[in-house]
A and B are shown apart, each in its own frame.
Chain A
């Protein structure tokens, strides 16, 4: 018996003691002077932070920033748990938040974020970035990348069907469907790839009309009386019913749809460019035109999908973090040239957009100056308040859209979606 006990006790003690030495004390900024930042995508956002850090170290040699890479959903989960527990323990100094989600954090935890109004001028940035990043008169986010959308087109398929990219420039989604049917008939190729369980096209469709699932206050549900939402749901369903849509089930099959040459077009944010270019055999066969608009009054051929901004948490180190963001993302023109040339990220800082880096032509897209085109369209993006409930509203709409597809009246589906949303999102 003694042997048993000794072996177990000694074994456990060794493990536990080694755990103690492993449990390195996580020192705060007050003790170490090191700021921490959370961001996702090592090739994009994390790389951008690294570039900014290098610039800032030239100003302040003692500056230290630890950039921690986390998936976007992971960051949301961690922030929610940490902020709702109220301890602020282990929270980063700087965090990247997607614009669609920003208001839900700012409104739910107003004291958790640091007001950056005194550090940089939000009017230097693309207009549509202001609504998601500000709250209650304070400016909390430093805008980073734009999710400006474009319609990526396979020129060879268009030619085969007797179309030119001009025929698809500044069109409505209804015209897009008509052309799509014709192209399918002539070439057998499907027009677009969509995922009915993750219909992100709905978001950029309704933003062309300058509205959102909620009213301008960001809380009042605006679905059943919303002409743009109605049109978007109708159009999205029509894409499937007219037989011109390839159905994908997840990100990889979505990417596969265009990399394998199954579809004629991709309607998406500019951040898809690297994935399009990854299939080198298609070089020279792509071009990008403005995104189609909804057939409602006032809709424009410019929209946004995704995009995010940096926020500073209201914990020790906030002044330093704010200064860092202000003198890099908030005002450094050269930095934004590097973003374009080194990581392909298009910023929303207007004074930087005249730079040379934004005027380069891209041989993959037949010599088109794609960055210059994107920033032209970016200036036209209608500004909307993404409010508190973007993804929750989307979830409800997905269900009702499915019912509409299987025969329910569109008006009834939207009224039911409105009711569900009001019931569920009543805070």
Chain B
């Protein structure tokens, strides 16, 4: 009976794994085929990998797009972790009358879809451009700024801070640490899992972000990877081999980040549920 059960379980899991892995496999195989073979659904690896790579790197500025994407994702993630953890810590640890009202308003702001914020945000950056063009329209900075922190991450850190032993704070105070010292030397090291989880989510969000960079970035030299991939597919006769090659290249960094931080990520996410 037990054996039957486990066979059944593995069968279902295998089907589920196939369904979720197949697109990924298809992507890797398509990278090695030429466009005509891909549209005809070829499942055999082909011999056009180097040709696709050459076409992609010769005709498009992939290096600069990769650099821009890394730049945006890393800075936004670092800023996001520092600011959101400070905010989440503050909300949970300190007492204040208006705290819960402010937090509710913050959570409500999560409900507004980005499409509704886009036009006013663009206008704002249009105005910023007049006085401070270095962070205005068509700069990498303008892509980063709206994402340096979001209500979701503040909420995420506050939930996880609930598990943090408050006695440690008292102990730190008695030992003469300043408040900021407690935050960086006691709180932060014990929040590794949460930081890793938030870091992965933030990195992926920023790496894959499409809509906002699309409207705010205009010059080709400021293009990010998702914008580049979108351009590849825009022709009347798209070269699918080149498109899949670009998608694979664009997927590698997020995959790497995830694999390296996976252990922490799982712990961080389950932590937030318990909290």
Which of B9-17, B151-159, B200-208, B214-222 lies at the interface?
Answer: B214-222
Nearest Cβ in chain A — how far from B62, in angstroms?
14
Q: Which residues of B contact A278 (CB under 8 A)?
A: 35-36, 237
A26 touches B219 (CB 8 A): yes
Q: Is B177 an interface residue (CB 8 A)?
A: yes
Query: Residue B79 contacts which of A12, A44, A260, A271 (CB distance < 8 angstroms)?
Result: A12
Is B140's CB under 8 angstroms from A81's CB?
A: no
Which residues of chain B (114-134) have a CB below 8 Å from chain A?
118-120, 122-123, 125-127, 129, 133-134
Q: For the complex, what is the distance from the CA of A74 to the CA of B237, rounded to whole Å?
A: 17
Q: Which chain B residue lies CB-closest to A281?
A: B36
List the 6 shortest-distance A-B pairs measured between CB atoms, nearest first: A71-B234, A87-B126, A23-B139, A256-B39, A85-B123, A89-B126
Give the distance in Å from the alpha carbon of A19 to the alpha carbon of B220 in the complex.
17
- Check if A237 is an interface residue, CB within 8 A of chain B: no
- Nearest A residue to B240 via CB reads A252
Q: Name the residue of chain B whose CB is nearest to the CB of A145.
A: B236
- Give the secondary structure class of B's interface: helix
Number of interface residues of A (CB under 8 A): 51
Contact partner of A44 among B122, B133, B235, CB < 8 A? B235
Quick check: is A15 within 8 A (CB to CB) of the other chain? yes
Write the chain B residue with the least CB distance to A16. B75
Rounded to whole angstroms, the CA-CA distance of A9 and B246 in the bound complex is 35
How far, in angstroms, from A274 to B71 measured CA to CA in the complex? 38
A74 near B122: Cβ-Cβ < 8 Å: no
Q: Which residues does chain B contribute within 8 Å of A85, judged by CB atoms?
A: 119-120, 122-123, 126
What separation, in Å, do the CA atoms of A278 and B219 have in the docked complex? 32
Return 15 A-B CB contacts under 8 Å, by A number: A1-B185, A5-B184, A15-B75, A26-B218, A42-B59, A70-B234, A71-B230, A74-B231, A77-B215, A82-B122, A85-B120, A92-B218, A253-B39, A255-B39, A259-B40
The CA-CA distance from A253 to B184 in the complex, in Å, is 55
Selected contact of A74 from candidates B35, B140, B181, B230, CB within 8 Å: B230
Q: How far is the CB of B191 from chain A (nearest CB, A)?
A: 13
Q: Which residue of B lies closest to A89 (CB)?
A: B126
Q: A78 at the A/B interface (Cβ < 8 Å)?
A: yes
A69 near B: Cβ within 8 Å? yes
Q: Complex: how many Å from CA A84 to CA B211? A: 16
Measured between beta carbons, the chain A residues less than 8 angstroms from B129 are: 87, 89-90
**Bound complex: CA A82 to CA B144 (Å):** 19
Partner of A78, one of B71, B215, B221: B215
Answer whether A87 and B123 are a contact pair too, CB < 8 Å, given A19-B141, A71-B230.
yes
Q: Are B38 and A252 interface neighbours, CB within 8 A?
A: yes
Q: Give A1-39 interface residues, CB cut-off 8 Å to B.
A: 1, 4-5, 8, 11-12, 15-16, 19-20, 22-26
Among A19, A22, A44, A89, point to the contact of B136 (Cβ < 8 A): A89
* Pair A43/B214 contact, Cβ less than 8 Å: no
Dominant secondary structure of chain A at its interface with chain B: helix
Task: For the complex, give the distance between the alpha carbons of A73 and B231 in Å.
Answer: 10
Q: How far is the CB of A172 from chain B (nearest CB, A)?
A: 28
Q: Is B247 an interface residue (CB 8 A)?
A: no
User: In this assembly, does B82 line the interface, its C-beta being within 8 Å of a C-beta of chain A?
Assistant: yes
Q: Is the CB of B59 within 8 A of A44?
A: no
Residues of A within 8 A of B181 (CB): 1
Known contacts A78-B214, A81-B122: does B235 contact A42 (CB below 8 Å)?
Answer: yes
Chain B, interface residues (CB within 8 Å), range: 35 or more
Contact status B219-A23, CB under 8 Å = no
Report if B195 contacts A (CB, 8 A). no
Q: B133 contacts A25, CB within 8 Å?
A: yes
How distant is the Cα of A229 from the Cα of B233 in the complex, in angstroms? 31
Contact status B138-A11, CB under 8 Å: no
Given contacts A253-B39, A256-B41, A274-B236, contact A84 B71 (CB under 8 A): no
Interface pair A68/B218, CB less than 8 Å apart: yes
A22–chain B nearest beta-carbon distance, Å: 6
> Which residues of chain A (32-82) have a CB below 8 Å from chain B?
40-44, 68-74, 77-78, 81-82
Assess whether A275 is interfacial by the CB under 8 Å rule: yes
Q: In this assembly, does B238 line the interface, its C-beta being within 8 Å of a C-beta of chain A? A: yes
CA distance A71 to B235 in the complex (A): 7
Which B residues touch A1, using CB under 8 A?
177-178, 180-181, 184-185
Residues of B within 8 A of A124 (CB): none
Q: Is B135 an interface residue (CB 8 A)?
A: yes
Also in contact, A251 and B218, with CB within 8 A (given A26-B137, A86-B123): no
Check if B218 sits within 8 Å of A274, measured CB to CB.
no
- Contact between B134 and A70, CB atoms less than 8 A apart: no
What residues on B are CB-neighbors of A69 within 8 Å?
A: 220, 231, 234
Measured CA separation A12–B138 after assembly (Å): 21
Chain A's closest residue to B67 (CB) is A22
Q: Taking the nearest CB of chain A, how far is it from the CB of B216, in angstroms?
A: 8
Q: Tell me, in angstroms, the Cα distance from A179 to B61 when the chains sit together.
A: 50
Q: Which of B38, B74, B184 contacts A15 (CB 8 A)?
A: B74
Q: When chains A and B are docked, how far (Å) is the Cα of A26 from the Cα of B122?
A: 16
Contact between B231 and A70, CB atoms less than 8 A apart? yes
A260-B40 Cα distance, complex, nearest whole Å: 6
* Alpha-carbon distance A69/B181, docked complex (angstroms): 50
Interface residue from A42, A78, A255 paired with B218 (Cβ < 8 Å): A78
Checking B59, B178, B235 against A41 with a beta-carbon cut-off of 8 angstroms, the contacting residue is: B235
A225 touches B (CB below 8 Å)? no
Most chain A CB inside 10 Å of its own CB: which residue of B75, B177, B221, B227: B75
The smallest beta-carbon distance between B54 and chain A, in angstroms, is 16
- Further pairs besides A42-B59, A252-B39: 19, Cβ < 8 Å: A15-B78, A24-B221, A26-B133, A26-B139, A40-B234, A68-B220, A69-B220, A71-B230, A71-B233, A71-B234, A77-B214, A81-B119, A85-B123, A89-B125, A89-B136, A90-B129, A90-B138, A252-B38, A274-B236
The complex places the Cα of A156 from the Cα of B238 at a distance, in Å, of 27
Residue of A nearest to B124 (CB): A85
In the assembled complex, A279 has its CB within 8 A of some CB on chain B: yes
Chain A residue at minimal CB-CB distance from B79: A12
Bound form: Cα–Cα A212–B21 in Å: 44
Contacts of A72 in B (CB 8 A): 234
Q: Is the CB of B214 within 8 A of A74?
A: yes
How distant is B212 from chain A, measured CB to nearest CB, in Å? 10
Q: Which of B41, B78, B82, B231 is the most central at the interface, judged by chain A CB atoms within 10 Å of its CB?
A: B231
Q: Which residues of B contact A260 (CB under 8 A)?
A: 39-40
Bound CA span A77–B38, Å: 29
